[in-house]
Structure 1
Amino acid sequence: MATEDDNDNTAQALVEEIVRRITFDTRKPAVAFVPEESVKPDLLGSFLGGDSYWSPGGVPVTAEDGSPLYPLAQIRCSDLDLPGYPTQGLLQFLIGTDSLYGCDLSANYDSEAENGNRCVRYIPTVPEVLASDEVVTLPHIVRDPDRNIFTPFEKDFHGCALRAEHIEEAVNNECDEFDPAYERVISQFDSEMVAEAESVLGDVEQAVVDRMSAESAASWIQVGGYPVFTQSDVRADYDDELVLLKVDSYDDVLMWGDSGCANFLIRRNDLEQLDFSHVLYTWDCL
């Protein structure tokens, strides 16, 4: 006769096998960018935040009202080795200083071309030497309600270098892809086995979600892989949309509202054409 421990071990083994199969079925390549907080930004490399950035001709990128857009991150494309992504040049992500950091929460891919309060800029050729007259220096700013100036960065953070690491990431339960992936896998097991696991664990799917969250390879800053949403998946067609950049909240560095996450999403065809005018910039929080 099976003991309580036997039943628990059997249920846990089922969860582990479901996790293994979902991970195998949904894994995607990605590049995780690890902050090196003690290393100053290289303006021709990959970095997060900071008070300056490199710009051809030294021309700053400005918002619709002429105010400067501030650097959220820069990715040196030679750090990427992902199918369909550029392998040379720089990708710059600049955001506004309004209370939503330049994000239009009602935007879609087509309307984002008209959003002048954020910019994703691709610079195809990186010079070998940094020209001082092509450095745009900005005053360090923090959240300042009196001046209506806001950034997600904490006041003592002045930017840091990013180190690239290649990873494979499985789908997370905040993406619309998770439910069909879970249903495909759970249908491969005997229903009585699943019911017995439910009687032990209470909710097999939640146990799978918890285990996958604990084992996730996802990183705080990432290109490729899957986006992270704290409210709901905003994508209309997740088979044709790629993560150009994901930046999650990180204590003592930056915070999107109440522990939120920002995503820059691009349609596959736009990325192939190196057209970054329709990138969907969105963030949500708890």
Structure 2
Amino acid sequence: MAYYALYLFEYELMMITEIQYPEALSQTLIDLLKKMEQLTISLSANESIDVESHIYSSKLCGVAYFPKEQEYPRNKDGQPLALIAQLNLDEIFADIEMLEACNTDNFLRHYPKTGMLSFFNDATDDLMGLEFKEPFSKTGYKVIYFPEVIQNDENIALAEFNELSAIVGDDCYGALSMGQSYLITSSLKYTIPSLEISTLNDENLLKFHDYTENQLDEESSEDVMEALYDQATEVCQGHAIGGYPMLTQFDPRGDNDDRTILLFQLDSVGDVMLGDCGSMQFFISEQDLKNRDFSNVLYDWACC
């Protein structure tokens, strides 16, 4: 699995090198990308389920797991937020290979390995809860971590789901309609950065930006840029935890933003469609993730 994300890119560079790209520069770029390659948990939503079922499972949309002791998240008008996804971390990290790989990764080792991590946004808003100016009010989206999944016969989120369904109807609320829900399965992959990613005060990303902007040979730069774009798109697309984001326009984080970790990504795959083939991300700082503090998560989505 090591360097899987670079196989196709190395082949494309080899083809470019045979025509016009200096071999020394090709190896420099490959070595740099190998240093930056990041482990990613790839999430696949394959099995369609009834929206009221699998309350304790990892899934997209539907009725959320929500303990009765906590207050359900609502928007500024008091309407309940919709579940985007919930991740049962006990299920995901029951895979020993995945657990061991993530525990040795620079970023994923900070991710909680038990409990439920849930993502909500505003289904009544045309922008799906997106805000443009910091400090955000965060009434249009919410990330909630439940350290322990407690199974019982009472699920208070069903009432909120029915309340929201009466408001939204059968219309699609961004990713899926109120009548759709999918189980999530997980696997491992590697991702490489796209040209749009911010430097984030990362030494390797700074070198990457410097290389692509200043050191590429002018005659070969267009071909190399296209190869980079194609491979980053290939490996970064899809639902994911960690790794590099699938950026359809630009990185919403500034170069000095400390929210360097991709907490969760929802992408336009299969029946999931965000606008015109868009992608949604939640970013968090390393310190906040260590502290299990999800109050300063950056939420963003964009389409082509």
TM range (shorter): 0.7 to 0.9
Name the larger-Rg structure. 1
Equivalent of residue 136 in structure 1, options 146, 157, 171:
157
Deviation at 1:268, TM superposition (A): 1.4
Instruction: Indicate conservation of the 8 Å contact 1:223/1:244, yes or no.
Output: yes
| Higher share in helix | 2
Deviation at 1:186, TM superposition (A): 9.4
RMSD: 3.3
Listed as ranges, the gaps of 5+ residues in structure 1 are 1-5
The answer to whether 1:73 aligns with 2:85 is yes
Give me the TM-score of the superposition, normalised by structure 2: 0.73
Q: Deviations over 1:225-260 (max 9, x none)?
A: 1123222212123565211111112353232x2222
Q: How many residues align?
A: 262
The residue number in structure 1 matching 2:55 is 43
Deviation at 1:141, TM superposition (A): 4.4
**Greater mean deviation of Cα atoms: 173-182 or 53-62:** 173-182
Equivalent of residue 18 in structure 2, options 1, 9, 32:
9
Change (3 A) 1:11 1:274: same
The residue number in structure 1 matching 2:187 is 165
Partner Cα distance (1:185, 1:39) in 2: 45
The residue number in structure 2 matching 1:274 is 292
Instruction: Indicate conservation of the 8 Å contact 1:101/1:150, yes or no.
Output: no
The answer to whether 1:116 aligns with 2:136 is no
- The within-5 A match list for 1:240-279 is 240-255=259-274, 257-279=275-297
Identity of aligned residues (%): 21
Partner Cα distance (1:37, 1:173) in 2: 34
Instruction: Indicate conservation of the 8 Å contact 2:245/2:262, yes or no.
Output: yes
Change (3 A) 1:213 1:270: closer
Listed as ranges, the gaps of 5+ residues in structure 2 are 1-14, 94-101, 103-107, 200-204
- The within-5 A match list for 1:51-62 is 52-57=63-68, 60-62=72-74
SS at match of 2:299: strand
Q: Deviations over 1:183-215 (max 9, x none)?
A: 44898xxx8xx75xx54x57243243245246x
